[in-house]
Structure formats: structure tokens, C-alpha cells
Structure 1
Amino acid sequence: MRQHSSHVDVPGHVDVPGQRPPSDPLVGPAAADLSGGSIAPARGDDTPSGLFRDRDDPRRRTDGIGWVTRAVFGDPRLRLSLGADPGAAPGAALTYAMVPSLERARFLLPLAGRRVTGSSVLAYNALRPPKVRAGRAAIGLLAWAGALRLTGAPALSVHVPDGVDPAEVLLCAHLAGLLGVPRLHAAIGVRPPDPHHKPTLQLFDDAGRPRGYAKLGWNDGTRAMVRAEAATLADLPGPGGDLPAVPELVLHTRWREREVAVVAPMPRRVRRVRRPDEPRLAAMLAVARRGGPAAAPRPLRGSPLLDDWRRRAAAVPACVSAVPEGPAAPEGPAAPEGPAADDAAWSPAPRGPRRRPDSAAGEAAATGKAAATGDAAATGSATPTAAGLPSTPPAMAIGDAIDAIEARDGELTCEFGDWHGDWVPWNMARHRDRLYVWDWENRGSGVPVGFDLAHQAFQTALSLRALPAAQCAAAADAMLHRHGAALGLGAAHRRLVVDAYLVELWLRTYELSGGGAGWNPRLHPALLHVLAARLGPGAAARPGADPASARRARGSAGGPPLDLAEPRDVKPT
């Protein structure tokens, strides 16, 4: 099981004991792998500036354009050039418009004819919020009219050397051959450099018809995630009853040290989910039970879940949990990922939590108050120091957290089942009155029913509302209090689900760091402090047992209606 939205910027990443250095698409052996060892780096090094001799090559950049061009067009035999005019790149194999600009690029639009460019902007526009939809529609109309240069978007051109087969150095050409079509064109989202993100290419044919989404895994962590999603899509039961519809796996292949999965395009008439704050409980239960009946409850003690946790926790060095008390880690919204990942290109600047003075929930979300119990020690919330900076309680080693859960809840009988692993509103849509859900790379099994409900609340608070980890946990408590009964969960079960979810989330975070993704400073060491407050000596009773406490916790779970255009997960946390 893997963690979904661990956001760590490569430049200036946070150093944490036990961290493996974050990886880059072209650092170390990957550089030689891409060119078969036939290209000697300039100046004898294998950094981006050494591999690419042209000082204007965008792959030398440290921003999102540099990262995505190294990941998608990494072969040093390719020549990449920048220009002010999208129509002035004679001889280029591929040309893209960088929207909205080079310095703020969020989207690469393929310039391969009006149909292709227009479709790459307008496809699935009904999934977007109104403001985003209007911006895309305007750009799409200019593209269909052949007047995209009026936007002022600069061009990125990709040149293939004479005598080199394009399918050898261009992923789109390679996939076109495997899928039996003359050509494929890719619209590519651009995000900040992040060793956990996977470039996602939306594929179109010459007529502008969507042909699928290609996910590209390029380091140990992202390759494993692409493999996991391909295996999951091949294993999931077909839609029926309350089970959601899922994308069909079209192709799973490996290309030049890249793991690639292509899934079928979404139905053309998919629409945004209504009331994204409300969980889809029937679909969650259907996923947990694989469309079948409820499993017989069994005690937590002796379950495969505890065995799995202990096996994974045994690989964690002691220094990782030995985090001293000190200032809280900085918080900030994560970048989007998945089919809607390009929304940031068309959205206003990210906003902080919005205030609703007439709502206690909005007040708590806007002011950042921990509301689960009103007790900072019980929630793990930050407390003021003499210097005016927040501090956190001592951390709990992950093995101690597992022991504490077993000691408290070992005899509690639970229904165990599957979970999607990243059940959030931006990974779903509706089509013909059926839920349509994608991004299955984090699916797991053998967990207490309710993990997806806890995940939706925690990740919405973390990624859309930029709340600290303690308040995200409080949001999960409140969500379980409101909706847990519909999943058959009593007060003790709701408490177990949230605490167990936090343990699983930290283990995923650690495992992603081992795959070259670095640490998420919003989750480590914050989750260890939260677990200490919830499970350590003197921990107060958790929301779920106390209805009044859960009502106060809604300040974290509530807040303004979700705006899915704002940066977010992940992916995934």
C-alpha cells in the first residue's frame, strides 16, 4: 500500500532523519539508461545542466517545466527549444503552447492542428468549476479558430535527430505503435517539481478524439504506483449495484526505465459530482465488500492488518521516530494530480480557508482552531511558546502507536474489507446516475471498513483547506461521527478507524520516502505527534464517544463548500 500525495519540492526540500534523497527523472543511472549509455554528459556530470548542453534547454530549469520535460522528453538526443511564436518551429516533431507562460506554465497544449489543440482544452470541460470552465472555453475557441497566438503563450518545440526512430525517443510515438494508430498527441499538465508526482498525458488522435490517459512512473515509488494501479484495474469487479464505474486498462508497458499505464478515456458526458462534501457511503461500502455481502466481524488482535503493520514498522529506523519537540512544520496546499491536474492553469491564485461568520464550522475552519475536543493535548494541536511560535507534543514511535491501538482495541470486533486508498471528490465524477471513480493506485485490502471515509475528510482538510495534521484528524473524527453509523460503526469502532487510518497514512509516507519521493513535511513528523496525543499517556477520550466533542470537531470538517479548482494530493497525501 502506498501513500498518494506526498508533496516535497525538490529544491530546498525538508531534511528529516532517515530520509532518502528525493529523486529526479535524470539524476544518476537514469541518465545513462535513457540514452543507452551512448551520450556522454557535458562537463563529466549527470545533472540536468551537464546532460543538456544548450543553455536555453528547458530541461535545465528547476521549475515545473524543467521537471516535466526531463520526465517526458529526457533522452539527451532530443533537442528542445523555446520560442515566442507557436507557429515558428520548422522541422519540429512536436510543438506545444505553454499556458499561460513559461514562468508560470501549468499546461502544455499540443499544437498539431485545430482539432487536436481545441479538443485538448475542451475535452471533459463539464468536470470543471464554472470559472475554470469559462477560461478553458475561451482558450478552446481561440484554438479552433487558429488564433492561439493571441493568448501570448510561448512555444516549446521538440526536435528528433535525423536517423533516429521517433518511437525510440518519443513516448507518444511509441504508444501509437503499440495501440495501432498512426499518431498520438499528448496534452500534459505541469506541476511543481515533486518526486512523488507522475506525469499524466491526455492522449488524442489526429481527429482530436480522446484515446486515453497515460501515467508515467519514473522512480521506484512512482513505478510501483503505476504497476499497482494496472494490477488493480485488471482485478476489480465490473460495475453493478452500488459499485462505481472505473476506467478500463488499455495498456501496461515499460519504456526506457519508465513504467507506463494507459487507461481508457472517460465517457464524454461525465459531469462533476454534486455536493462534493457529502460522502458516497453506498459506493464506499460496495468497494469495501467488492460488491458482495458484509464480511463476518473479527477481532483486531490476530488480524492480518496488525501483522502487516508490524512487518512494515520493523523496517523503520529508530532515528525516524526520534523527533524532538519543536516548531511545527510549515503547511501549504499540495499540487493537483490526475485527470483534473491542469485546473491550476485556469484558476485564480490559491486562497486560504474562507470565513463564514454565521457558521461555527466556518469560523473554526477560517481561524484554524482545533475543535475535536477543545483540548490541545487531546487533539495534538499546536500550543503557543514564549517566542510566539507553535510547538508540538513529543512524537510517538510508530511501533508504539501500533502497540497502543492493539492494547486498547485488540478485542474489538470489526468488519475488514477493501478501500480505494484515495477516495476524494476530485477523483470521481458522475455518468448516467452512476459514480465514476479513477486513481486506484493506492487500493488496499484487509482494513477496517471506514478507511475511505476517514481519508476523504482528512485529505479534504489537508489539501483543499490547508489545515494542519491535528485538525485534519479532527475533521476525520467529525466525519466518522456524522456518517459512521451508516457503515455500521459504533463509537469505539469510529475511534479505531481514525487512529488506524493515521497509522496507515504515516507508514505510506515513510514507504514513499524510501522510493525516492522524499518526506512530506506536512505529515512527518506531524502525524507522530498527533498519534502521541491520541494514544499516549493521558490521551483524552476521542470524538465519537462524546457527541458534544464531535459537534465541536465539525469546525474542522465543515467550512466553506469545496472548490475543486484549488490546488490539492497529493496527490495524497
Structure 2
Amino acid sequence: MNSETTYLTDLAAVLWPCGGLLGPGDRGMRRRVRRDRGNQYLPVPSAHNPRVILPAYNRSAATRGITSFAQGHSLRERARTLLLTGAFATGMAPLLLRDRLYVGAGPGIEHALTAALDRDLSIAIHVGPPRANRKPVLLLLTPGGRTIGYAKVAVNDLTSRLVRAETRALRHLAGTPLRDVTVPRLLYEGEWNGHPLLVQEALPVGEQTDRPTRRQLLRCVTQITAVAGVRELRLSTSPYRHSLEERIVALGARPEAAPLRAALRRLPDVRVPFGAWHGDLTRWNIASTARRAFVWDWERLCLDAPAGFDALHYDLNECVQAGVHPGVHQWLDSGSRLLRDPLMSGTGLRPHTVSTVMALYLIDLATRYLHDRQAESGGRLAAVDDWLLPALEGLQERAAHEAAGPA
């Protein structure tokens, strides 16, 4: 049993306290499950590398789960999605995929969600790659395969904080409509098996939407920034800077804490516009049409951060798709160009503060990763001493040079 099968077994204990058992799809196990009137799920592609968990004998729910959770941004990913969709649609998947998750007949997460929403439903589960904030995202479907919404269930202390934070964020955003940005409605909040649970509506994302263009992205970013109003403050007197320094101090004796705190103190004391930021705006959490952006995963929403953080975060995650080090080098230029775009000037962001804001973003991101212990989970950008601290050194010099020039 590797770490992934251990995670899958632990996850099953959260979702189905009646019991979950990993095993092969042999006839003896199938007869035992039928006798106990339990369910079968397929870890895909395997129990040793689970990314989605799909109902073994509900073709429509499994097929919709594959297409809903597929990233589909590369030729390889699209081909894999097409093959899996075909295998489930024809009923061949249970024959081709060996591993099974056998679930007992007692009350499970399906029963809780059926009661919460007062309707029959099926589920497909997105597990995703190992990360500190990894948690199951459940696609909720009618028995015929129509999407009802998505549920998130916490599995530990960090994910409990995030699920509760997203619940608060959705409640807040429901009272603050955005002109060109659609946010999912909160359908239910509660607990399951001692863990926070939320259900939100599914956004109309599909063939009519795509990744945002540069203009669409910045239009979305500026509207999110203004959610709680924008105010311009000197960095030294801003509540944000004080809060960030406290978060760094709370890292204790970690070796990265000292250089982060020193970098923060060396930044020029410029006036910066502060507003809200989504906190994790990436290609996986946004889709656009020509007129609207659809944005989800609001668990990192913060109402007090330098304007432009969302644009920088989106751009950094795009740049590193082909490799961290070349991507960060590219981002140092492309991120600067994004913040200098005329659309960003509407937030009050001025050219001589661009590198200061970029440096603040890296300090904030490093502090988050260290608190969440992302490096221990093997995240792509989590090794902050490998790429982030060197990039921060160059940005500090650039920030000082910009601030010394004409405002």
C-alpha cells in the first residue's frame, strides 16, 4: 500500500463511515457487495494514482464526471478524457479498470447530500494530485446525469479552515454582485462525519466558455479588487503589511522566515491601492465568454491585499506550466507588463509601484505555502527557497529603482 492508497482508504472513512474497502474487481467481491447492498466505485486511473472516483455501474454519472473534472488543456489530456468517456459510455470501463472501492450499505455521503438537497442524486468525486489543501470535490448529478452542483468535504484541519472560509466568502459575495463576474450560489452548508461540508451551484461552464483573454482576465481582476472598495495607503501604515509580517513571524524558526521578513522590511514605502483578491485565480478556477467571467473556488478570498495580486497569480501559474525556473524568469517580465496595462490603472496602481507589488505577492505566496506545508506534499511551486527567494532578490532591486524615479 503506497501513500495514495492510504489516502484513498482514509478518504473513504470520511465519506462512508459505514466502511470502504479497496480491492480488485473479482466476482467474489462483487457478490459480497451485492449481498450487503453496497456500492462500487472505480478509482481512476488506479488506486495507486487516484484522480477521480467514479460510480462503477452508473454510466451517465461516470461519463459526466470525467468530462466535468477533465483539465483537457493538452493533447494528451484530451485524448485520455476521450478514451475514458468512451469506456464508460459503452460499459467497458468496469472490465478495463481493475481496482475497486467497495462501500458498505450504511449511510454515506450520498445519503447526507440527498437529504440536504431533498432530491435523489448520484456522485462522482474529484481527488486531484497530492497537495496540502487536497480534499474531495463531489460532482452532484441527477440519476439521469444532469449536474445539480458541487460539494466540498474537509478531511483535516487545513481543509476545514478552507471549506469554512469558502462558505463565508460565498455568503459575502452573494450580497455583492459583480458586474461581469458570476459566482456560484451557496446551496447548503453543514457538517458530515464531523467535517465541514458545503454545496454550491454548478456554473454554466462548457463548450461556450474558454480560458480568459488578457483583457477578460484584467476586467475580472479589477472587478474582484473593488468588491470591498479600494483604498490607497502607504505600505508602512497599511493593515495588510502589518498582517503579513505577523504571518511571517508565526512561521517561527523556519529558515525561510528571516529572508522573507528582511525582504518585506527593505521594500520602498510607496503608496499602494488595496482591495480584494480571489487568492487562487488560475486556469482551473475561471472560464470566460466575451462578456462574462465565471469564477469558482473562493476559499482563499481576502478583502485586503495589494491590487494586482490575482493577475500576478494567474500569470505565474500559466508561465510555470512548461517548467518552474524558465517560467518564473518569463513571469518577471510578463507580470510587470500585466500590472502596467491601462486596465489596471483604474485600480489606482501606478508604474513606480509595480515591482513592489510583485515582491509583496511573492512574500505573501511563500508565507502561505510555508504555513500550509505545501513542500511536504510535493507541490510544483512549493519549494520557495529553490525559486521564489532568488526571484525576490531581483525584484527588491527593481522596486527600489522604480520608487526612486519620478512618480
Separation in 1 of the partners of 2:46 and 2:124? 16
CA spacing shift, 1:186–1:251, aligned 2, 3 Å? same
Separation in 2 of the partners of 1:281 and 1:289? 12
CA spacing shift, 1:83–1:501, aligned 2, 3 Å? same
- Give 3-state SS (helix, strand or coil) of 2:369's partner: helix
Alignment of 1:238-257 (within 5 A): 239-242=177-180, 244-257=181-194
Match of 2:256 among 321, 337, 343: 321
CA contact (8 A) 1:247 1:264 kept: yes
Separation in 2 of the partners of 1:79 and 1:453? 42
**Partner AA of 2:201 in structure 1:** A
Structure 1 residue 437, shift from structure 2 partner: 0.8
Match of 1:71 among 8, 11, 16: 11
Which has the higher mean CA deviation after the structures are superposed, 260-269 or 170-179? 260-269
Alignment of 1:18-417 (within 5 A): 61-74=1-14, 78-84=19-25, 88=30, 89-91=33-35, 92-123=37-68, 132-149=77-94, 152-160=96-104, 166-167=106-107, 170-182=108-120, 184-236=121-173, 237=175, 239-242=177-180, 244-267=181-204, 269=206, 271-274=208-211, 280-290=217-227, 295-321=230-256, 397-405=259-267, 408=268, 410=269, 412-417=270-275
Larger RCO: 1 or 2 (CA < 8 Å, sep 6+): 1
Separation in 2 of the partners of 1:542 and 1:449? 19
Number of equivalenced pairs: 393
Q: What's the % identity of the aligned pairs?
A: 24
Structure 1 residue 81, shift from structure 2 partner: 3.9
Separation in 2 of the partners of 1:245 and 1:130? 29
Q: 5+ residue gaps in structure 2?
A: none
**Partner AA of 1:84 in structure 2:** G
Structure 1 residue 134, shift from structure 2 partner: 5.0
Structure 1 residue 104, shift from structure 2 partner: 4.4
CA spacing shift, 1:232–1:155, aligned 2, 3 Å? same
Q: Which residue pairs with 1:484 in the alignment?
A: 340
**Partner AA of 2:334 in structure 1:** A
Structure 1 residue 203, shift from structure 2 partner: 1.8
Q: Which residue pairs with 1:531 in the alignment?
A: 392
Q: Which residue pairs with 1:557 in the alignment?
A: none
Separation in 2 of the partners of 1:540 and 1:430? 34
CA contact (8 A) 2:232 2:271 kept: yes
Q: Which residue pairs with 1:451 in the alignment?
A: 309
Separation in 2 of the partners of 1:96 and 1:114? 12
Q: Tell me whether 1:426 sits opposite 2:364 in the alignment.
A: no
**TM-score, length-scaled by structure 1:** 0.61
Structure 1 residue 160, shift from structure 2 partner: 2.1
Structure 1 residue 424, shift from structure 2 partner: 1.5
**TM-score, length-scaled by structure 2:** 0.83
Separation in 1 of the partners of 2:402 and 2:207? 36
Structure showing greater radius of gyration is 1
CA contact (8 A) 2:340 2:350 kept: yes
Q: Between Structure 1 and Structure 2, which shows a larger proportion of helix residues? A: 2
Structure 1 residue 506, shift from structure 2 partner: 1.6
Structure 1 residue 518, shift from structure 2 partner: 9.1
Separation in 1 of the partners of 2:209 and 2:71? 7
